[in-house]
Amino acid sequence: MSDCLFCRMVSGEIAPDVVRETDRTLAFRDVNPQAPTHVLVIPKEHHATVGAVAAADPQLAAELLGAAQAVAEQEGLGTADSPEPGWRLVTNSGPQAGQSVHHVHLHVLGGRGMTWPPG
């Protein structure tokens, strides 16, 4: 989709600060970080929300989760067996959640203490 910001990153038209890439996923630093580590994980294929990708391609949805874990490990936030110091995974779907880019993305957040619920 030529009007989608994240599709333009996948195509190379815009160059994000890439931290990890696989055949089907891309992870890059958020331009407006909300924590010392704030990385977005996206599928290269366009899907609007996490629900949409889970319905259309469950394997790809699983790959997104695996990519998020791999980024967390790469950033020193914890392994699958030992999530220390820990990290948060967020995905926003729709207007009330504040989704501003309509290409599914997982926010990997860490590097500071976080309260729940978030503001």
- Smallest CA-to-CA distance from 9 within 34, 32, 38, 42 is with 42
Q: Name the phi and psi angles at 29, rounded to 5.
A: -75, 140
Shortest Cβ 4–ligand AMP spacing (Å): 11
- Amino acid code (one letter) for 77: L
Shortest Cβ 7–ligand AMP spacing (Å): 12
Shortest Cβ 82–ligand AMP spacing (Å): 28
Catalytic pick among 38, 102, 105, 107: 105
Nearer residue to ligand AMP within complex by CB, 15 or 82: 15
46 is catalytic: no
Nearer residue to ligand AMP within complex by CB, 30 or 57: 30
| Angle (nearest 5°) at CA 80 between 30 and 62 | 65
With tokens 């009330």, the residue in question is 96
Site of interaction with ligand AMP (CB under 6 A): 5, 16, 30-32, 40, 92, 98-101
Cis before residue 117, ω within 30 degrees of 0?
yes
